[in-house]
């Protein structure tokens, strides 16, 4: 009798959980969190993950994300012993020829059109920088790994006792005793003064690790308890942060991990409270800051419509001629119910 009551309570909770999380993935729900999905404001998460995967894959991504994939994937294919394709499927044999690997990654990138003319230039100009970045990345990874067996993209998962959904991530480079979280620093685009032209320049390496990258590293550390390395590379050099750095010590990584988990727990409580009502959930969080330099650039039409629906913010983009810069620019106009029109050049 007691077991029946427990089972009924569990079934009831699972039904409430399913209803609450049905706002994600086009009604299919959410099966896990990731660092990338929880490192942003909640509004940004909602604007991405409420849509099904086939819609999200069509969202625009600029050349910088492609740069990281190009460099990292080519290096992995050249030096890895094992590459995971899913939680359970892994490969141990593939063509490791540099040109084959590089051309395949370029083909994958070009399967999607560039966002605009600026991104088209960036995608083409970044190739030379990637070609310089790859051997540097390969060297630093091999210097850290040595002769140990190298595994790439292994899935790891953690779920604290009071969490509803686990956190899942994939480790860039890993051996039996250590792992590397790799961050490429893609080149930046700059406007040529007095000309309607762009130029590409090397992005500097950081002198200190960022909290965002440290937090992601902390998750992999807590999942593996292996020796962590956070590595930044560009087309000229690299910098390594390991456990000798104060911010990479075990107690600090655990502290950052706890902060990430607390944030996820808060989100889960909000989701459960709203019982699948996305409008109620939107009202509980800060509305999207559409003037943020990164989070809300290049919004898809579906996202613009959702912003209007949930927060009453209207966005429209018009083409104008800028006399000062002597060029055609796109300007985003933003209006909500409480603030005047905001103009942003995009």
Rounded CA-CA distance 264/97 in Å is 42
- What is the pTM for the complete model shown? 0.88
Average pLDDT over residues 314-328: 51
CB burial readout 268-304, b (16+ within 10 A) else e: beebbebebebeebbeebebbebeeeeebeebbeebb
Do 183 and 109 contact (CB within 8 A), yes or no?
no
Where helices occur in the chain by DSSP H, the ranges are 2-20, 35-38, 42-49, 53-56, 63-79, 98-110, 117-145, 211-224, 250-274, 278-283, 301-311
Other beta carbons less than 10 A from residue 257's beta carbon: 23
Q: What is the pLDDT of residues 67-83, one digit of tens each?
A: 999 999 999 999 999 99
107 burial via Cβ count (<10 Å: 0-12, 13-18, 19+) = exposed
Nearest to 187 by CA among 292, 71, 99: 71
Is the dihedral angle over the CA atoms 275, 277, 278, 279 positive or is it negative?
Answer: negative
pLDDT at position 335: 54
DSSP letter at 21 equals G
Other beta carbons less than 10 A from residue 6's beta carbon: 10
Q: What is the pLDDT of residues 93-122, one digit of tens each?
A: 999 999 999 999 999 999 999 999 999 999
By mean pLDDT, which of 38-47, 87-96, 149-158, 285-294 is the weakest?
Answer: 285-294
Pairing of strands 173-174, 178-184: antiparallel
Q: How confident is residue 316, by pLDDT bands cut at 50, 70 and 90?
A: low
State both tokens at 303: 């996202």
Which residue reads 């002769």 in tokens?
147
pLDDT at position 199: 95
């Amino acid at each position: 009798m007691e077991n029946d009551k427990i089972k009924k309570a569990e079934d009831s909770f699972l039904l409430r959980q399913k209803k609450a999380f049905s706002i994600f993935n086009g009604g299919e729900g959410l099966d896990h969190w990731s660092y990338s999905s929880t490192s942003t404001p909640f509004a940004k998460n909602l604007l991405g993950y409420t849509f099904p995967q086939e819609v999200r894959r069509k969202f625009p991504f600029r050349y910088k994300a492609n740069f990281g994939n190009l460099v990292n994937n080519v290096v992995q294919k050249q030096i890895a012993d094992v590459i995971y394709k899913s939680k359970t499927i892994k490969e141990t044999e593939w063509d490791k020829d540099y040109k084959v690997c590089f051309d395949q990654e370029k083909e994958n990138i070009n399967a999607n059109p560039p966002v605009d003319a600026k991104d088209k230039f960036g995608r083409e100009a970044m190739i030379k920088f990637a070609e310089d970045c790859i051997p540097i990345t390969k060297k630093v990874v091999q210097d850290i790994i040595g002769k140990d067996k190298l595994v790439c993209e292994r899935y790891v998962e953690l779920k604290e006792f009071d969490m509803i959904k686990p956190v899942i991530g994939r480790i860039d480079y890993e051996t039996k005793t250590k792992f590397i979280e790799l961050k490429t620093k893609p080149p930046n685009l700059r406007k040529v003064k007095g000309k309607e032209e762009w130029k590409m320049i090397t992005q500097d390496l950081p002198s200190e690790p960022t909290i965002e990258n440290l937090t992601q590293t902390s998750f992999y550390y807590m999942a593996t308890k292996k020796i962590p390395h956070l590595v930044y590379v560009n087309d000229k050099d690299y910098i390594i942060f390991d456990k000798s750095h104060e911010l990479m010590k075990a107690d600090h990584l655990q502290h950052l991990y706890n902060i990430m988990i607390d944030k996820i727990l808060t989100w889960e409580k909000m989701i459960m409270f709203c019982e699948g009502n996305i409008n109620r959930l939107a009202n509980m969080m800060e509305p999207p800051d559409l003037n943020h330099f990164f989070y809300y650039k290049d919004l898809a039409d579906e996202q613009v419509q959702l912003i209007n629906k949930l927060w009453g913010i209207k966005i429209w983009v018009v083409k104008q001629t800028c006399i000062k810069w002597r060029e055609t620019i796109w300007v985003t106009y933003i209006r909500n119910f409480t603030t005047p029109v905001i103009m942003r050049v995009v």
